[in-house]
Amino acid sequence: MMKLLLNIQDSEATAFLKLIEDNPYVKAEHITAPDMELLAEIKEIKTAFKHVKRIKEGKLKTRPVEDLLNEL
């Protein structure tokens, strides 16, 4: 089963949900704002882990933390 996450304007959401819920092969669930925030945070964490993996593989350059702190 494929899962999709769609961003739909509030004004069009009701009509869109009615359209897709009429199909027997589609199951639609509403996601609350806190759940959306959690999904965004999880996505950021996954991206961070991908960066760490690329650093370990030598595919992504790093710089000393002192350089970063000096920029502040």
User: Is residue 37 assigned to a domain?
Assistant: yes
Structural domain containing residue 72: 31-72
Q: What percent of the chain has pLDDT over 90?
A: 46
Predicted TM-score (pTM) of the model is 0.58
Identity of the residue numbered 11 = S
CB atoms within 10 A of CB 17: 14
Between the alpha carbon of residue 59 and those of residues 12, 16, 24, 34, 44, the distances in Å are 43, 43, 46, 35, 19
**Is a pLDDT exceeding 90 seen at residue 21?**
no
Q: What confidence tier does 50 reach under pLDDT thresholds 50, 70, 90? A: very high
Q: What confidence tier does 59 reach under pLDDT thresholds 50, 70, 90? A: very high
**Total number of domains in the chain:** 1
